[in-house]
Amino acid sequence: MNAGDYLFHQGDVAPNLYLIGQGLAKMFYVTHDGKEFVKSFLPEGSFAGSLVAQLEGRPSPFSAVCLEAVGAEVVPFSALETLFKKSPEARSFGLRFFQELALKKEKREYELLCLPPAQRYRAFIEENPGLAARVKQKDIAHYLGITPIALSRIRRRMKTPGPA
C-alpha cells in the first residue's frame, strides 16, 4: 500500500487487525468540526486496528492511513478469537499482547493528563528518536493535541531561550 492509502476509515466496522511489516502509518480521529487528532503512529512491527470495532462490533471512531509505503499482514479479528478459543497457548500470547497494550495506553494517558504540551513534545522526541524525522510536524502537533502553529512556537522557545 502506498502513502495516502487507508487501512480503514472512521465509521467502518473494520473487523481486521493489521501487522505493519514495513513502512509507517497513523491512526487518527477527525472531530465533527474537522479537527484532526493523531491517536498513534504505527512504525514497523506495530498493530493497527480498532478495539471498539473488533470487540464490540461497532464502527471505528478513527481512521488508519499510510504515511509511507506499507507492507502489512491482514488478520481478521474473528480468526484470532476462534484461535483464542481453541488454543490455550495462543491465549497466553493474547494475554501478553493486551497487557502490553494496556501498559502503553497507561503511559499515553499519563502524558496527556499530566504533562503540558512542551513537555509532551520533549517526551515524544526522546521516546521516538527515529520517528520525528519521518513524520511531518503537523502530525506530531496533532499527536500532542495542539495545532501546528503552537508546536512551531514551542520549538522556537526551545532553541535560544535556553535559560531555565
Residues at the site binding its own copies, with contacts judged by CB under 8 A: 29, 31, 35, 37, 39, 51-52, 55-56, 61, 84, 88, 91-92, 94-95, 98-99, 101-103, 105-106, 108-110, 112-114, 145
SS3 66: strand
CA distance 93 to 128: 25
Footprint of DNA on 107-136 (CB under 7 A)? 116-118, 136
Q: Does 151 bind DNA (CB under 7 A)?
A: yes
How many CA atoms are closer than 13 Å to the CA of 110, on its beta-carbon side? Answer: 8
Q: Does 138 bind DNA (CB under 7 A)?
A: yes
CA distance 152 to 131: 17
- The site for DNA (CB under 7 A) is made up of 35, 116-118, 136-138, 145-156
